[in-house]
């Protein structure tokens, strides 16, 4: 009787954990209740609640410029493509005279949460496509309890970028190239990294299909930018160039340059001056950007030519290594990039080692920011004094982990796919 009861309980637990509705309910309700308990708000102009330490207040301050009739890409420049600030300013305007930081931030969090639910469902869908239903569901549960994607839901908008990257990848896996190209274009209009799917299209599809894929993406991207440039080219151009003109920050390149800073831009007021987008906040690069790009291009070409695995897992691994090579060559590092990195690690390595890699990487990244940088108030956000040795060690360790993941991705790409 006891054995029969245990078997029955096991079956019920398996059914419960396999119920997607339960997972989504828990996923959404947990985040909504966090918003209730730790409401984002301003107290004496100091940010409190879930948004503290993130970029939301900065985004709110820019969105509030619309109160005086000043709009992005017309009256002030943005360091990002148009999707995010169109959302933030629209939400600000819709709230009318009653707008305040708390209500605006919670409304933004609800929008970003909807995209994070999409990420959860895409983790399950891609995982199922790669390994079967049980593993796909397990990957969704693991993603649901990862801290980093949840934190950045309230701090930034990387969730949207990850959604369009995963959606584009999923549609590419399903051989829906045209739809994938549209998703990639919208993603690139949020941040540029979803366009790295071009590499997967070129490697895993014939040249004609890949050419059409790239043409559709670039066509949509250009069409979105045409009216912006027609309206005010001077205020629009920085959204394409500002991120590449920064001083180095939080990378081995920054250590070489002597820049112990974050990659934040200047004041809100500086966004009225397009020339401010090109102002260096630190020391100039010792190693020129074209050297970094050339090295990354050579490594990418090597991986491209040596790839043997052309199944779906190979495509995900190729996307993952492309993303990391791009991040590693960049002059800066942003902790929110974890939101793009974590799903791809889990999808390629649905194992204990994959989960441990995500946990260790997340711990290192959060130790760097906010643990170290929160202690830089007296130095205006610059790492100095006793904080320098742990900062250097953290950057080196984090970079080493990312390089190790690249090597692991390469190992997968060098395998012949197992055929059933």
| Digit-coded pLDDT (tens) for 340-363 | 999 999 999 999 999 999 999 999
Torsion angles phi and psi, residue 156, rounded to 5: -150, -160
Rounded CA separation 232/23 (Å): 46
Rounded CA separation 403/260 (Å): 21
Task: Count the Cβ atoms, other than its own, within 10 Å of residue 37.
Answer: 9
Percent of the chain, pLDDT > 70? 97
Q: Say if CB 409 and CB 314 are below 8 A apart.
A: no
Q: With 80 as the cut, is the pLDDT of residue 261 above it?
A: yes
C-alpha atoms less than 13 angstroms from C-alpha of 229 in its C-beta half-sphere? 8
**What pLDDT score was predicted for residue 403?**
98
Q: With 80 as the cut, is the pLDDT of residue 135 above it?
A: yes
**What pLDDT score was predicted for residue 2?**
66
Q: What is the mean pLDDT of residues 133-139?
A: 96
CA angle at residue 268 from 263 to 269, to 5 degrees? Answer: 125
Rounded CA separation 60/156 (Å): 11
Domain-embedded: residue 12: no
**What pLDDT score was predicted for residue 8?**
60
Rounded CA separation 88/51 (Å): 15
Rounded CA separation 33/291 (Å): 48
**What pLDDT score was predicted for residue 124?**
98
Contacts of 57 (CB under 8 A, 6+ apart): 42, 47, 51, 101
Considering the chain, what is the average pLDDT of its residues? 94
Domain-embedded: residue 81: yes
Domain-embedded: residue 1: no
**What pLDDT score was predicted for residue 396?**
98
Task: Count the Cβ atoms, other than its own, within 10 Å of residue 390.
Answer: 14
Q: With 80 as the cut, is the pLDDT of residue 257 above it?
A: yes
Three-class SS state of 286: coil
Domain-embedded: residue 293: yes
CA angle at residue 133 from 130 to 134, to 5 degrees? Answer: 110
**What pLDDT score was predicted for residue 418?**
65
**What pLDDT score was predicted for residue 316?**
98
Q: Say if CB 388 and CB 258 are below 8 A apart.
A: no
**Dihedral in degrees, nearest 10, Cα atoms 303, 322, 167, 350:** 70
Pick from 61, 30, 36: nearest CA to 49:
36
Q: With 70 as the cut, is the pLDDT of residue 35 above it?
A: yes
User: Count of domains in the chain?
Assistant: 1
Q: Which one is predicted more confidently, 197 or 4?
A: 197
Q: What is the mean pLDDT of residues 262-277?
A: 86
Q: What is the CA radius of gyration of the chain?
A: 22
What secondary structure does DSSP assign to 214-277, as a single string?
A: HHHHHHHHHHHHHHHHHHHHHHHTHHHHGGGSSPPBSSHHHHHHT--S------SGGGG-GGGG
Q: With 50 as the cut, is the pLDDT of residue 299 above it?
A: yes
Q: Say if CB 254 and CB 394 are below 8 A apart.
A: no
Domain-embedded: residue 5: no
**What pLDDT score was predicted for residue 420?**
46
Q: Which one is predicted more confidently, 44 or 407?
A: 407
Q: What is the pLDDT of residues 376-397, one digit of tens each?
A: 988 888 999 999 999 999 999 9
Domain, as residue range, for 157: 22-413
Domain-embedded: residue 13: no
Domain-embedded: residue 347: yes
Q: Say if CB 168 and CB 183 are below 8 A apart.
A: yes
Domain-embedded: residue 11: no
Q: What is the pLDDT of residues 148-196, one digit of tens each?
A: 999 999 999 999 999 999 999 999 999 999 999 999 999 999 999 999 9
Q: What is the mean pLDDT of residues 81-85?
A: 97
The sign of the CA dihedral 224, 229, 231, 232 is positive
Range scoring the smallest mean pLDDT among 144-148, 240-244, 353-357: 240-244
Regarding pTM above 0.85, the answer is: yes
Antiparallel, parallel or unpaired: β 41-43 and 46-48: antiparallel
Q: With 90 as the cut, is the pLDDT of residue 277 above it?
A: no
Q: What is the pLDDT of residues 199-233, one digit of tens each?
A: 999 999 999 999 999 999 999 999 999 999 999 99
């Amino acid at each position: 009787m006891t054995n029969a009861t245990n078997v029955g309980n096991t079956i019920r637990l398996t059914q419960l954990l396999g119920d997607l509705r339960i997972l989504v309910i828990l996923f959404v309700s947990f985040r909504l209740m966090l918003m209730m308990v730790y409401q984002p708000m301003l107290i004496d102009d100091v940010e409190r609640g879930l948004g503290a330490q993130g970029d939301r207040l900065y985004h709110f301050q820019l969105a509030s410029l619309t109160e005086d009739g000043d709009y992005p890409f017309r009256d002030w420049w943005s360091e990002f493509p148009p999707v995010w600030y169109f959302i933030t300013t629209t939400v600000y305007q819709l709230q009318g005279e009653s707008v305040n930081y708390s209500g605006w931030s919670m409304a933004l969090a609800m929008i970003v949460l909807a995209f994070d639910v999409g990420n959860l469902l895409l983790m399950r869908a891609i995982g199922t496509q790669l390994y079967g239903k049980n593993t796909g569901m397990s990957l969704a549960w693991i993603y649901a309890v990862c801290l980093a994607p949840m934190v950045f839901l309230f701090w930034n908008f990387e969730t949207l970028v990850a959604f369009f990257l995963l959606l584009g990848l999923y549609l590419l896996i399903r051989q829906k190239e045209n739809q994938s190209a549209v998703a990639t274009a919208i993603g690139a209009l949020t941040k540029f990294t979803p366009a790295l799917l071009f590499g997967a299209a070129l490697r895993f599809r014939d040249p004609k299909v890949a050419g059409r894929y790239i043409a559709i993406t670039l066509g949509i991207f250009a069409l979105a930018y045409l009216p912006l440039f027609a309206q005010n080219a001077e205020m629009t151009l920085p959204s394409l160039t500002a991120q590449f003109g920064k001083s180095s920050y939080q990378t081995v390149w920054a250590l070489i340059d002597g820049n112990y800073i974050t990659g934040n831009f200047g004041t809100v007021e500086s966004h009225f001056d397009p020339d401010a987008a090109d102002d260096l906040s630190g020391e100039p690069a010792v190693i020129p950007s074209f050297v970094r790009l050339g090295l990354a291009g050579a490594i990418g070409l090597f991986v491209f030519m040596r790839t043997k695995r052309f199944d779906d897992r190979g495509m995900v691994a190729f996307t993952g290594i492309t993303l990391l090579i791009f991040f590693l060559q960049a002059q800066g590092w942003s902790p929110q990039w974890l939101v793009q990195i974590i799903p791809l690690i889990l999808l390629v390595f649905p194992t204990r080692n994959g989960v441990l890699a995500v946990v260790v990487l997340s711990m290192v990244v959060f130790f760097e920011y906010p643990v170290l940088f929160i202690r830089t108030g007296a130095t205006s956000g610059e790492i100095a004094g006793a904080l320098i040795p742990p900062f250097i060690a953290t950057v080196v360790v984090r970079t080493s982990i990312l390089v190790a993941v690249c090597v692991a991705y390469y190992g997968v790409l060098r395998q012949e796919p197992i055929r059933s």
